[in-house]
A = this chain, B = another copy of it.
Amino acid sequence: MSASRKQFHLNAFLMGVGHHEAAWRHPRTEEHQVLDVEHFQELGRIAERGKLDSVFFADSLAVGPRIKRNTLAVFEPVTLLAAIAAATSRVGLIATASTTYNEPFNLARKFASLDHISSGRAGWNIVTSGSEEEAFNFGFDAIPEHARRYERAEEFVDVAIRLWDSWESSAIVLDPQEGIFADPDKVHTVDYSGPRFKVRGPLNSPRSPQGRPLLVQAGSSESGKEFAAKYAEAIFTAQRTLEEGQAFYRDLKSRLPKYGRSADELKVLPGLVPYIADTTEEAEALEREFTDLISPDYALGQLSRLLGVDLTEHALDAPLPPLPSVTEIEGGKSRFTLVKELAENENLTVRELIGKLGGGRGHRSFAGTPTQIADELQSWFENGAADGFNIMPPYLPGGLEVFVERVVPILQERGLFRTDYEADTLRGHYGLGSVESQFAEVQTEASA
Nearest chain-B residue to A186 (Cβ)? B67
The answer, yes or no, to whether A87 is at the interface (CB within 8 Å) is yes
Let me know if A206 is at the binding interface, CB within 8 A: yes
| Known contacts A101-B106, A103-B101; A114/B79 CB under 8 A | yes
Smallest beta-carbon distance A396→chain B, Å = 15
Contact with B along A52-80 (1 / 0, CB 8 A): 00000000111100011111111110111
Is A201's beta carbon under 8 Å from chain B?
Answer: yes
Judge if A32 is at the interface, Cβ distance under 8 Å: yes
Q: Is the CB of B113 within 8 A of A75?
A: yes
A261 at the interface (CB under 8 A from B): no
A420 to B: closest C-beta gap in Å: 24
Taking a contact as CB atoms closer than 8 A, the residue among B76, B86, B109 that contacts A109 in the complex is: B76
Answer whether residue A342 sits at the interface, using C-beta atoms and an 8 A cutoff. Answer: no
A72-114 vs B: 1/0 string, CB under 8 Å? 1111101110110111000000000000011101100110111
- Distance between A102 CB and nearest chain B CB, rounded to angstroms: 7
How many copies altogether? Answer: 2
Determine how close the nearest CB of chain B comes to the CB of A91; give it in whole angstroms: 15
Across the interface, A113 reaches (CB within 8 A) one of B79, B114, B133, B177, namely: B79
Which among A135-143, A264-272, A282-290, A399-407 touches the partner chain? Answer: A135-143
Per a CB cutoff under 8 Å, which of B85, B116, B180, B295 touches A68?
A: B180
User: Which residues from chain B contact A200 at a C-beta distance below 8 Å?
Assistant: 133, 136-137
CB distance from A250 to the nearest CB of B (A): 37
A113-B76 contact in complex given A24-B181, A61-B204, A69-B181, C-beta closer than 8 Å: yes
Q: Does A326 contact B (CB under 8 A)?
A: no
| A102 adjacent to B106 (CB under 8 Å) | yes
**Contacts A37-B116, A138-B103 given; does A182 touch B67 at CB 8 Å:** yes
Tell me if A117 and B37 are in contact (CB < 8 A).
yes
Partner of A139, one of B76, B87, B197, B202: B197
Which residues on B sit within 8 Å (CB–CB) of A70? 181
User: By the criterion CB–CB under 8 Å, are B113 and A80 in contact?
Assistant: yes
State whether the Cβ of A309 lies closer than 8 Å to any Cβ in chain B.
no
Query: A374 at the A/B interface (Cβ < 8 Å)?
Result: no
Q: Which residues of B contact A202 (CB under 8 A)?
A: 63
**Shortest beta-carbon distance from A298 to chain B in Å:** 8
A69 touches B116 (CB 8 A): no
Interface of chain A residues 12 through 41 with chain B (CB within 8 A): 22, 24-26, 31-32, 34-35, 37, 41
Which 4 pairs across A and B sit closest by C-beta, in order of nearness? A86-B86, A76-B113, A82-B82, A136-B200
Query: What are 7 of the A-B contact pairs (CB < 8 Å)?
Result: A25-B177, A61-B204, A67-B182, A79-B79, A102-B103, A105-B138, A139-B199
Residues of chain A touching chain B, judged by Cβ–Cβ distance below 8 Å, are 22, 24-26, 31-32, 34-35, 37, 41, 60-63, 67-76, 78-80, 82-83, 85-87, 101-103, 105-106, 109-110, 112-114, 116-117, 133, 136-139, 172, 174, 176-177, 179-184, 187, 197-206, 293, 295, 298
